[in-house]
Structures are given as C-alpha cells and as structure tokens.
Structure 1
C-alpha cells in the first residue's frame, strides 16, 4: 500500500508568516458596512485579538493615518484608499459614481470629480477629466486643501458645529492666489452659507483662472458623505452661467448617485 501523504504544515505556522501584519489587516477588516464605528473592545473582539494587542495595532494605524478617533470610537480614514490604488475602480462608490461623472462631464463639457474629506484635505475618489485648466494633473488619490476647494467647503458644511469648530481650530489656509480666503472667521461664514444654499462656488482661490462649483452627495441617513464638482475656466459672469446651467446638472448627478448608493451605506463626512 502506498504510504499516506504527510500532512503539510499550515502556512500560519511557518517562518514566512508575519503575524503582526496579519493582525493589523484583521483590525482594518473589522470595519465594514455594518460596523463603521468601533470601540477598542469591539475591534479586539472582531479581530480576534486581545484588547492590549488591539490597542497597539489601532494606535499604529492611527499614526499612519488609516484610522482616526471619533469621540470614543474609531472609524476608517479615506487614506485606506491608498492601500488599494490599483483596485480602486472596483469600489462600490467609484463604480456607482464614475459613469455618472463621465456623463456629467460630457453634458457640461468640463471636468467633474468626487471627493471625500480627510483631515485638512480632500481626497479625490473618482474623476472624469475634461479640458485641462489646472497647472497640475489631478487623479484618484490626489489631495487639495479643503478650505480652498469647492468640494472641501461642501464637505465641511456637512460637519456638525462641534466638529467644524475643531476642524477650523487646526485650519491654516495658505495664500495660493490673491483671491484665497485665509481668514478662518470668514471661512466659517462661507461654510455656513454653503450649508444654507446647498452648493459651493470657488473662484480663482485655488489657482488663477480656475473656478469650481460643487454639491453634496448624501447617504441614506441624509448626511453628507461625499461631494462632486465641475471645474471650469474663469471668465466674466462665469458664476452666473455656472449657477444657471451647470448647477442643475450637478444636482441631478448627485441625486442619481444617492439613488443607487443607500444600500451601500455611505459613511457620513467627519472631521
């Protein structure tokens, strides 16, 4: 009779298995659509590790920018997108938004984008480029200062007052052009106006000759989860024309994304 095949040792027991890496990834996987906010105890339970180990892992991930503390719970940061750059196109939100942004860009003959808030920056998560009107090339994963970008101001308008206060405390806007708003008190008033009117307009604050109009994308709870915009070159009366012709198309696109997205439970924007 042939000898019985010897059982192969599990890879987890081999010298090549990096246990600390596996545990760190387990902490990230503890968050999902049903568990977007977790306490340290919940993280330890869902990652099947001790509370002490979970604490060290979550503190490391927080230091690296992949999670952040929100009250007494932890939430994922948009920076986790960097871990899946090559596979970002498969994310639900991107899948939902990309064809709609492309249609919007064709309709208005300008570039359109979607972004989320990450600290003092916005992070692009989807984009349909049109005519190039910026000196830098923007793509998925690109960052811009939230205080100066139209999408940033829309995202800030979705914060509650305490969160906005905390965000503004750390805000140090750079003077990028002669038109850039750098006074934090004035910036607060602008954000409050955006909250009331439902859209943001930025004219030559980020770069001379560049204008942008943005609207929020809400999750199933009615809270701001992301922002989409259209960028265009400056000319006299551009704000009037954009408000009249582009803003309605932006709102239709946002509504279309929202109509598809509730089942995916988009996380609300947070500081």
Structure 2
C-alpha cells in the first residue's frame, strides 16, 4: 500500500506593511503671522486644525480700534495671506455680516454684528462685575485711568476701563491692545505667570523685538522683580512718550487665570510720586481683594 506523501502546508504569504508616511503639511497651510507669532509652524501637520476658519479670524483680528477701514491690499500686508485668499475671505465675511464694505473707499470695516462674538465673553467675565465699582473709585481718587486687561498673544487687551472725569486724553476703551513688553500692564501679567509660561512668551517677544530684545528683556525682568518686591511695577516713557503707569498682576485662587490691572495716564496729568506712593499700594490691595472672587 502506497504511503501518502505528507507535506507541511506552505505558510501564507503576508503582504509587507509599508511604513506609515510622516504627517505632511496641509496643502491649505499658509503663514498665519500676527504679533510675530507664526501659528502655521505648530499646526502645519495638524489634521484637526481648520485653516479656513483660522484665516478668516486673522482677517477680523487685523482691524484695530481707531484705525479705520482696510482694503484687501492692506489686509494682505498685515496678515501675510495671499491676495486671492484675502479677497475671498472679505467677501465671505461681508456676506455673513461681520464686515461692511465702504464703497466710496473700496475698503472694509468691522460691522456691529461682530459684537455678537465678543459680548458673551464680556458679559460672563465675572471679574469685570466684581471690579468695576472699585476701579471707578480708584480712578476718581487718583485722577487717572484704571484698566483691566487679559493677554492676547504678545499684547494685552483691555476688557474693562474706568477713568476720572478730569482725564480727557489717552482714553483707551474695551478692546484696545497695548504692547506687552513695554507697558506696566504687560509686565505685571508676565510677573503673574509661571516660569515655563513666561519662557514661551519671551520666545515670541524675542522674535518680535529682534535686536532690541536684550535691553528690553532686562527692563522687563527688572519690572517683574519690582512686582515681587512691592506688589506692583512702575513704567514710564516706554510704550508711549510721557505716559506713566503702575500695574499689578491679578491671579485667580487656583492660578488658572492671570490678568493684570493698571492705573496711569499722561505724565502732565498724573504725578509720578502719587502713582508710586499712593496708587500702586491701593492697586495691590484692590487686586488682592477681588482675586478670590475670580471665576465664581
């Protein structure tokens, strides 16, 4: 009887897996430069990042208080976006009601509808409600302007203000942005954040100020040391000539929210010694009073 040939069945051939390609930059990725902070560098390969939305918001951010209307060429220069992209975005934002086209100027300006985006933030920001009366009392007492601000990339943006009736100049309103590194307000904020967060901001400021940064950084760090020593910092003649102010960091109890508050104004209207000896300590007391109520 013939013996059946027993053979080991051949192993099935498995297809060789190709290595997964590295994440590629989105074809929609373009420079998103504002305050010298190029957002495209960290999001070029981020598939969750919606570039169309980001570009549209950059157009809205390009408008500043008191600047007036902007044309497509000006928006292209500010945002560094391609001209064709800017043209499509301004058309879309106009159709949605966020921009108004000024025909006689052939330019665009923000429409009142845009307030619908920001108002819920201000309305729900409890610290404004808690601080408002105290800010007005301090403004009346010092004859100066008092402002509450939050960080906006490399700037500080005003979320509330109070001014003495005697002060008729340098009245910055809600939404105004000021330089972070050259103002008491910005330096107070930098004193309130932790070291790791401060280094991230410093990296952006280094790009923004270039060769001026080493000297400017020394003055910023001196102001931070001043906050740690007496609770507030004093800055004059840096952001604008003949402008002086004191400022204090405003930090929530859990450290999760850091803002800043200042008191100041034009040098001809605000006495230097009064700011340092009177307004500064009062501002420190005010911020310590309202800080525990932040976020409630």
> TM range, normalised to the smaller chain?
0.5 to 0.7
Matches within 5 A, 1:78-227: 84-87=117-120, 89-91=122-124, 92-130=126-164, 131-134=167-170, 137-171=171-205, 172-173=208-209, 183-197=215-229, 198-222=231-255, 225-227=258-260
Partner of 2:276: 243
Distance 1:188 1:205, change over 3 A: closer
When structure 1 is superposed on structure 2, of 153-162 and 55-64 the one drifting more is: 55-64
- SS of the equivalent of 1:183 reads helix
Q: How many pairs are equivalent? A: 191
Provide, for residues 227-265 of structure 1, a one-character-per-residue CA deviation record: whole Å limited to 9, x for no partner.
Answer: 11111332699443322111122122212322432x52x
Determine the C-alpha separation between the residues in 2 that align with 1:236 and 1:160: 35
Query: Once the 2 structures are TM-superposed, how far is the Cα of residue 64 of structure 1 from its aligned partner?
Result: 3.5
**Which blocks of at least 5 consecutive residues in structure 2 are unaligned?**
1-45, 61-113
Query: Once the 2 structures are TM-superposed, how far is the Cα of residue 83 of structure 1 from its aligned partner?
Result: 5.3
- SS of the equivalent of 1:220 reads coil
Q: Assess if the C-alpha contact under 8 Å between 2:232 and 2:284 holds in 1.
A: no
Larger Rg: 2
TM-score (norm 1): 0.59
Query: Once the 2 structures are TM-superposed, how far is the Cα of residue 222 of structure 1 from its aligned partner?
Result: 4.6
Distance 1:87 1:236, change over 3 A: closer
Q: Assess if the C-alpha contact under 8 Å between 1:168 and 1:184 holds in 2.
A: no
- SS of the equivalent of 1:101 reads helix
Provide, for residues 78-132 of structure 1, a one-character-per-residue CA deviation record: whole Å limited to 9, x for no partner.
Answer: xxx9654445552222222222211221122211000011111000000012313
